[in-house]
Structure 1
Amino acid sequence: MTIAELCIFASVILYLLTIAPVKWIGAGQYDNARPRDPAFYQSGIRERALGAHQNGIEAFPFFAAAVLLAEFRAAPQNLINELAMLFLIVRTAYVLTYVGNRPALRSILWVLGFAITVAIFFLPLLRNYLPI
């Protein structure tokens, strides 16, 4: 298993861990029988954590597909690994800025994470021009 493939798994864990602390902290108000109750997510940090969680779910398929495509098409594995780790770092910072209510920085980090995923996706096209 490659480092990039482990980053795919780590990105799933990241979006799960984004919402879990909010549910745990609000244990007295959180009703597991109604996990999607909009009333629970109406306050500031809960609402932002839910937004970060949902965005993680949205970002995951393209990232996973990009990593697997790059590996299947024999792009340089060291670059795939490095970009996948960078994506994970950026996404972690994204979650922190989302929950911490820093919208401008959050948007910059989202664009950067998307650009990293696009770079991974197109690595197979560049393999003839990159040092291996």
Structure 2
Amino acid sequence: MIVSTGLTLAYWCVFVASMLPIVCAGLAKWGMFGKARRDGGYDNHLPRTWLASQKDWRARANAAQANSFEALPFFIGAVIIAHQMNALQVRVDLLALAFVLLRMVYILLYVANQASARSVVWAMALAANIALLFV
């Protein structure tokens, strides 16, 4: 049985994009919850300080979290504007889906320290978002 929420695919993409920073934060903290603070484990008393002190892939996951938050306002605005302008829904949905998928790839490339490929994917996601705004 399929339950209709009345949300378009583009609006569901907004939801998924809004969850990406949380996924990045979880990734940065992965495996550190059970470790004692004195041994470098996650410090819930000073979470931002702890995250700022991380190195390598954890630091990159935290940076991906910040960048994911930075990308959200433009994406949310573009989706809302496209809906308000009665843009062709299929185009809106496909561009929103492309943006989210590219952002997921971007996060993976960021954590994997693939800087050049990450930058290319970032630009592609930005282009999809700009296209969405003007669709």
Give yes or no for TM over 0.5.
yes
Q: Which residue of 1 aligns with 2:10?
A: 4
Q: Which residue of 2 aligns with 1:94?
A: 106
Q: Which residue of 1 aligns with 2:3?
A: none
Q: Which has the higher contact order (CA 8 A, sep 6+)?
A: 1
Q: List structure 1 runs of 4+ shifted beyond 4 angstroms.
A: none
What's the offset of the Cα at 1:95?
A: 0.1
Query: In 1, Cα distance between the equivalents of 2:42 and 2:88?
Result: 46
Give the unaligned 5+ runs of structure 2.
1-6, 36-40
| Percent identical residues | 35
What's the offset of the Cα at 1:39?
A: 6.2
**When the two structures are superposed, what TM-score results if normalisation uses the length of structure 1?**
0.89
Q: CA RMSD in A?
A: 1.2
Give the unaligned 5+ runs of structure 1.
124-132
Task: State the Cα deviation string for residues 46-94 of structure 1 (Å, max 9, x = none).
Answer: 1100110000000000000000000011010110000101111100000
Q: 2:77 aligns with which of 61, 65, 82?
A: 65
Task: State the Cα deviation string for residues 100-125 of structure 1 (Å, max 9, x = none).
Answer: 000000000000000000000011xx
Q: 1:52 aligns with which of 60, 64, 67?
A: 64
- Alignment length, in residue pairs? 123
Which shifted more, 74-83 or 19-28?
A: 19-28
SS, match of residue 43 in structure 2? coil
